[in-house]
Amino acid sequence: MLPVATLPAAAILLRFGADDLLNIDVLEKAGGTIFDNLPIIFAIGIAFGLTRDTNNNGAAGLAGFVCHAVLTSSLKSLDAEINMGVFAGIVSGLTAGFLYNRFYKIKLPEFLGFFGGRRFVPIVTSFAAIFLAVIFSVVWSPIQAAINSVGELIVTSGGVGAFIFGTLNRLLIPFGLHHILNNLVLFSFGEFTNPATGEIVRGDLTRFFAGDPTAGSFMAGFFPVMMFGIPAIALAMYRTAKPENRAKVAGALSSMAFTSFLTGITEPLEFSFMFLAPALYVVHAILTGAAMLICHAAGILAGFGFSAGFIDYVLNFGIATRPELILPIGLAFGAVYYLVFSWAIVKFNLPTLGRYAEENSADKTSGGDDFAKKILAGLGGAENLVDVGNCATRLRVTVKDSSKVNEKILRAAGAKGVFKKGDAIQVVIGTQVEFVADEINSLRKKN
């Protein structure tokens, strides 16, 4: 998620520098530069995020840059027509991150000692990038053709394509696979030539900010859900909570609702019910698809630099098409969400926040040394951890023995959700997850 964190800055600079706002060319060009260099940013950010070497993970970012530079330059010499775009950055980051973790402790013979350890990684990464370039020079053209075909199918499917994307986007969140789908739709599907630079840009998000008048249909429908639907779910949970528990859950629910409305971050609330009431989560996914369909049918084109929250709505209002319709559509969806969730929770006695006995976690604050210690204990202690990382809201951990992970301890500490797949554990913390991950890594070093 580190590369994605640069997009809000790019969007803000681009918008404030635009003609219809401050008309400051240097700001517009500064924002455009970030979008133009997204492949490099992805290469550095992904490699940085994947490394297990918390003491010097900047070296992994350097390896990511080297891998991207060698890969793209080698590809140009092999086939000048190939342009992998953001995908080249993703591949470079993954390759560099993997090779860094594999070789950053390598020891070479004494006469080659200078090139051992971390210094060896850019060397081996360069050769790996050349190897990748040879492979992609052969296979990328059909891959790009397939991506274009799928993208064209989704785009030309109109509202149906938007509905499918919105529904799948939510359904894939429990497995962490929504990032793959998002990268395809937001950074790969569709093509537009930027009139200012002549550069070909791909993806609904990048095309939107490059001025493509047809882009934004795969982002607009998220605004009604994130600004109105998710807060309505929180209200429904509060209203259906046991009277004695309402005060306990009010703080957590209002915080999650406001976070979704303002920034578009929805996972903390979604994880609070997705495993307790999976059928209700499927309904939420379908309603998201319906919002995408309706916004597409209404001719709404809107975009975001980070997510579909109020900040991005206001910031990009001037370059959106019919953005004023998002508000009445959002209010309507908020009412539907509230009625559906209130009815379902009561009718089927679903154990959402405030309705079951172990309610102590609802009002905990996700931060601080004590919180990190409790999460660490729930994960089986420092000796049970292999590596610790995070995305926007989740702690991503690899453990030695998953049987030592105690979900009750994690939830009692304040975790909003826990997802296990073999030795890979995801703990939903919230927007403070980066600080929690840092604190856990510090505690591991002390032990």
CA-based nearest residue to 90, from 210, 187, 215, 192: 187
Amino acid code (one letter) for 274: M
Q: Which residues, 6+ apart, have CB-to-CB distance to 439 below 8 Å?
A: 369, 372
Burial 325-356 (b: 16+ CB within 10 A, else e): bbeebbeebbebbbebbbebbeeeebebbbbe
Q: Which two tokens stand for residue 124?
A: 């081996």
Q: Active site residue: 4, 220, 391, 425, which one? A: 391
Q: Is 391 a catalytic residue?
A: yes
**Residue 159 three-state SS:** helix
Calpha distance 197→399 (Å, rounded): 48
Sign of the four-CA dihedral 12, 14, 16, 21: negative
How is the beta sheet containing 385-390 ordered, strand by strand?
385-390, 394-399, 424-428, 417-421
Query: Environment class of residue 41 by beta-carbon count within 10 Å: exposed (0-12), middle (13-18) or buried (19+)?
Result: buried
Backbone phi, psi, residue 221, to 5°: -70, -15
DSSP state of 243: G
Q: Which residues, 6+ apart, have CB-to-CB distance to 348 below 8 Å?
A: 277
Strand ranges for 84-185 from DSSP E: none
CA-based nearest residue to 40, from 87, 76, 103, 8: 87
The number of helix segments (H) and strand segments (E) in the chain equals 19, 6
Burial 193-231 (b: 16+ CB within 10 A, else e): ebeeeeeebbbbbbbbbbebeebbbbbbbbbbbbbbbbb
- H/E run at residue 171: helix 159-171
Q: Which residues are catalytic?
A: 391
